[in-house]
Structure formats: structure tokens, C-alpha cells
């Protein structure tokens, strides 16, 4: 039986610690202690700082990995919140605080669901990972976890409003650079204005038809910044202009196909394009590097894993619909790169993430815990 009071108290303790990407140590320490209290069979922290807990079933079988990241985005203006962002205040059946929905609530539900099950009735093992750095490099930390535990199935706990996600858009960060020719701004005809070059390129890009997928929607291309050099430009034409695009990816897209669609547009000779490189330091001191290209993924609706998961959720008293993530998650690695059958299931909605007065419904938190238990039992049934 799931101890809901202790689960809620544990979630409150997680919300009261601030855990930006690279500063997750307080939440990791709390999670490790909770895993010990819940009598997980094996607990370890990997080189990136993600903590992993393992529960062994009574017989050999498959490994199911449930993943929730503990890093959160920041607080732009605490004054705009009507509840203290790290207070874990409960009012009208909701707990308020940064990370409640994205996604410490799912982590608490996963831990207590796994610990509640009769191990003798399971064939295989349950793995729960509290991973780091997801908000800045989706899937990179999960990669390290999966290299160790080698799961047969993965559950991502990002918000689905208690529905079952079987796909998700990916994400790419694209840098474009226009190179002009400097000249005195009193004689602009003697130079080539890099900003003008970039404006023309942007107009072409914005006119492109977005690719589309019947499950995942459009492959959105969103301009997120524009910078010219030199800046400030005193009486000189800018010789360089750089922009960043956030590209939401669909299944089958590659770095080459995404960049080619831009560079083959007419009159792009002075435009360079590349996938951005990310570099982030974990709280353990490890520096994680890689291209900011995180693939989309999709699992066929008739896959046996989906059948098992739906049966488990229904047995837990839920009525899930099939859905898909519109944003990018750690499944970009588990499904998009590693090819491990992956689903998403979690409390709250996608719109509850990264917002002022972020909160989670207590009844949805409890329902999610029942749902995780149902999925595990269905997949690891004797």
C-alpha cells in the first residue's frame, strides 16, 4: 500500500530546496536518504550525480527504469508568486512551489509506488533514477544511468495529465551566422551590412512550411535571439550577425537534414549554420559536452509495451488516453537514440511547467503513484 502521507511530506522536502541545473545536490541527498528509508536493495550515485535506486523482484525478468529529473528552471520574479516558490504550501488540494509539476512530484510518486509493491510477486527489477541537467541537456544524464542499469523498458515521468505518451518532439538549437563587410556608416554602400543579410535569411526561413507529424504536430522553428558585431557599433556597419533558432524535431530528422533545409534556400552564400554545442558542469564537477540535437521519438500505438502499460493503468483505476509530448524530454536519449521502448506518464499538464505559482494537485500525485505501481506490476508480472 502506498504511504501517501509520507510521499507528500517527501515531496515537500524536495520543493524546499533550490535545485537549478548543476546545483541538484540537496535534492539528490534527500532522494538517496528516502531510498534507504524505503528499503531499496541497491542505491548508487553515478559520475554525473544522478542517484539510482534498485528494487529486485522475487524472480528473474526484465528491468523497468522510471526516470524523473530533479533540476528545475529558476524564478524570474518571486514577487509575482502568490505562494512562496520554495515553501511547499498546500492550499485547496494543491501543493505550490517550483518543481512540483516539473517534476519532483513524479519522482516522489515513483519512489513510493516502487516501494509499495510485493517484491516476491515481481519477475525482474525496478530502477528509479533521479537524474540531473535535464533542463539544459535532455537525455545526457539518463544516458549515463542507462549504461549501467541496461533497462528493457523506460518510463519518463514528465507531465501527461495522467495519460500515456508514446512519442515526443525532439529539440535542436541552431546557430546561424551572417558575415558582411565593415564600412563607415556614413558610406554604407562601401560595405555589406551583416544584419541586412540576416534579415533576408530570416524572412526566407520564416516562410518555410513546417514539417508535420500526425501524432507530434509541427516541427516548429522559433527565433530566440539575434546579436550583431561589433556591439555597440559606433559609426560602423556590423560585419557579423548571429541568430539562434529553437527547432522542435520530428521522428527521422537528423542534424544534416535540418541544416540542409536552411542552407539550400536561395541566396544563403554568406550564411553559415551549425548545431550548437552545449557544455555544462554537474554538481559533482564532471563537465558534460555535446551537440544540442535531441531526437524526436515515437512508439507504435500497437506495441506490446503500450498494451501492458494501459492495462496496468486501468487496473489502478485510471482511464488513460494515448497522447504525445510536444516538448523535449529525457526520452530523446532512451527512445530517440538508444531505441529502448519508452512511454511517458505523469501527473499535471504540460502547461503547468515553468510557470508562476507552479503547483501539483495532491489527488493527481496520488493517482500517479497508483499508475506507476500499475505499470510496474503489468510489465514485471510473474
pLDDT over 70, % of the chain: 100
Does residue 311 form part of some domain? yes
> Is the residue at 290 inside a domain?
no
> Given the C-alpha cell 551537440, which residue does it identify?
291
Determine the Cα–Cα distance for residues 123 and 107; give it in Å rounded to an integer: 23
Q: Are 181 and 373 in contact (CB under 8 A)?
A: no
Answer positive or negative: Cα dihedral of 342, 345, 351, 352.
negative
Count the domains in the chain: 2
Looking at the domain assignment, is residue 228 inside a domain? Answer: yes
User: Alpha-carbon distance 31 to 45, whole Å?
Assistant: 11
Per-residue model confidence as pLDDT tens digits over 279-321: 999 999 999 999 999 999 999 999 999 999 999 999 999 999 9
User: Domain check: are 143 and 68 in the same one?
Assistant: yes
Pick from 251, 281, 311: which residue ends a domain? 281
Does 203 map to a domain?
yes
**In this structure, is residue 313 part of a structural domain?**
yes
| Mean predicted confidence (pLDDT) in 149-156 | 98
- pTM, to two decimals: 0.94
Q: How confident is the model at residue 382 (pLDDT cuts 50, 70, 90)?
A: confident
Are 28 and 130 found together in one domain? yes
Q: What's the pLDDT tens digit per position in 218-277? A: 999 999 999 999 998 899 999 999 999 999 999 999 999 999 999 999 999 999 999 999
Q: Are residues 250 and 226 in the same domain?
A: yes
* 130 and 204 housed in the same domain: no
Q: CATH number for the domain including 216?
A: 3.30.70.360
In terms of residue numbers, what domain contains 336? Answer: 4-169+296-379
Going by pLDDT thresholds of 50, 70 and 90, the confidence category of residue 73 is very high
Asked if pLDDT for residue 78 goes beyond 90, the answer is no
Q: Is residue 216 within 8 Å of residue 298, measured between CB atoms?
A: yes
Q: Which of 233, 258, 281 is the last residue of a domain?
A: 281
Phi, psi torsion values for 275, nearest 5 degrees: -75, 135
pLDDT category at 177 given cuts 50, 70, 90 is very high
Residue 288 in domain: no
Q: State the pairing for strand pair 297-298/153-156.
A: unpaired
pLDDT for 233: 85
Residue 308 resides in a domain: yes
Confidence of residue 76 (pLDDT cuts 50, 70, 90): confident
Residues 108 and 209 in one domain: no
Q: What does the pLDDT read at residue 86?
A: 96
Residue 192 and residue 74 in one domain: no
CATH number of the domain encompassing residue 93: 3.40.630.10
Q: Which residues pair with 225 in a beta bridge?
A: 244
**Percent above pLDDT 90 for the chain:** 97
Arithmetic mean of pLDDT over the chain: 96
**34 and 151 in a common domain:** yes
Q: What is the structure's pLDDT at 213?
A: 96
* Residues 136 and 29 grouped into a single domain: yes
DSSP helix/strand/coil, 118: coil
Do residues 144 and 128 both lie within one domain? yes
What the block records as the C-alpha cell of 97 is: 512551489
pLDDT at position 79: 78
pLDDT per residue as tens digits for the range 80-89: 999 999 999 9
CA distances from 192 to 187, 189, 268 (A): 11, 7, 14
Same domain flag for 131 and 96: yes
Contact 224, 244 (CB under 8 A): yes
Q: Where are the alpha helices (DSSP H) in 150-254?
A: 194-207
Is residue 366 situated within a structural domain? yes
Amino acid at each position: 500500500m502506498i504511504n501517501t502521507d509520507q510521499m507528500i511530506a517527501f515531496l515537500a522536502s524536495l520543493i524546499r530546496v533550490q535545485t537549478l541545473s548543476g546545483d541538484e545536490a540537496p535534492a539528490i541527498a534527500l532522494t538517496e536518504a528516502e531510498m534507504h528509508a524505503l528499503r531499496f536493495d541497491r542505491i548508487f550515485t553515478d559520475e554525473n550525480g544522478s542517484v539510482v535506486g534498485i528494487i529486485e523482484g522475487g524472480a528473474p525478468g526484465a528491468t523497468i527504469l522510471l526516470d524523473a529529473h530533479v533540476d528545475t528552471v529558476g524564478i524570474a520574479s518571486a514577487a509575482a508568486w502568490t505562494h512562496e516558490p520554495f515553501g511547499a504550501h498546500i492550499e485547496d488540494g494543491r501543493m505550490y512551489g517550483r518543481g512540483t509539476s516539473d517534476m519532483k512530484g513524479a519522482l516522489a510518486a515513483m519512489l513510493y509506488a516502487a516501494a509499495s509493491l510485493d517484491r516476491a510477486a515481481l519477475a525482474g527489477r525496478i530502477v528509479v533514477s533521479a537524474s540531473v541537467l535535464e533542463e539544459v541537456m535532455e537525455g545526457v544524464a539518463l544516458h549515463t544511468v542507462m549504461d549501467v542499469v541496461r533497462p528493457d523498458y523506460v518510463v519518463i515521468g514528465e507531465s501527461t495529465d495522467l495519460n500515456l505518451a508514446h512519442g515526443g518532439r525532439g529539440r535542436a538549437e541552431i546557430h546561424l551566422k551572417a558575415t558582411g563587410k565593415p564600412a563607415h556608416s556614413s558610406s554604407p554602400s562601401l560595405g555589406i551590412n551583416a544584419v541586412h543579410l540576416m534579415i533576408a535569411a530570416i524572412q526566407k526561413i520564416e516562410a518555410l512550411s513546417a514539417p508535420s507529424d500526425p501524432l507530434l504536430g509541427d516541427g516548429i522553428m522559433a527565433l530566440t535571439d539575434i546579436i550583431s558585431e561589433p556591439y555597440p557599433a559606433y559609426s560602423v556597419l556590423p560585419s557579423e550577425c548571429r541568430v539562434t533558432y529553437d527547432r522542435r524535431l520530428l521522428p527521422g530528422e537528423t542534424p544534416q537534414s535540418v541544416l540542409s533545409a536552411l542552407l539550400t534556400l536561395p541566396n544563403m552564400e554568406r550564411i553559415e549554420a551549425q548545431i550548437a554545442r552545449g557544455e555544462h558542469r554537474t554538481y559533482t564537477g564532471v563537465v558534460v559536452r555535446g551537440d544540442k540535437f535531441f531526437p524526436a521519438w515515437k512508439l507504435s500505438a500497437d506495441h506490446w509495451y503500450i498494451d501492458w502499460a494501459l492495462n496496468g493503468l486501468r487496473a489502478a483505476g485510471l482511464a488513460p488516453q494515448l497522447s504525445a509530448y510536444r516538448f523535449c524530454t529525457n526520452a530523446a536519449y532512451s527512445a530517440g537514440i538508444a531505441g529502448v521502448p519508452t512511454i511517458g506518464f505523469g501527473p499535471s499538464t504540460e502547461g503547468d511547467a515553468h510557470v508562476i505559482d507552479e503547483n501539483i494537485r495532491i489527488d493527481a500525485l496520488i493517482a500517479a503513484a497508483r499508475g506507476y505501481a500499475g505499470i510496474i506490476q503489468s510489465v514485471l508480472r510473474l
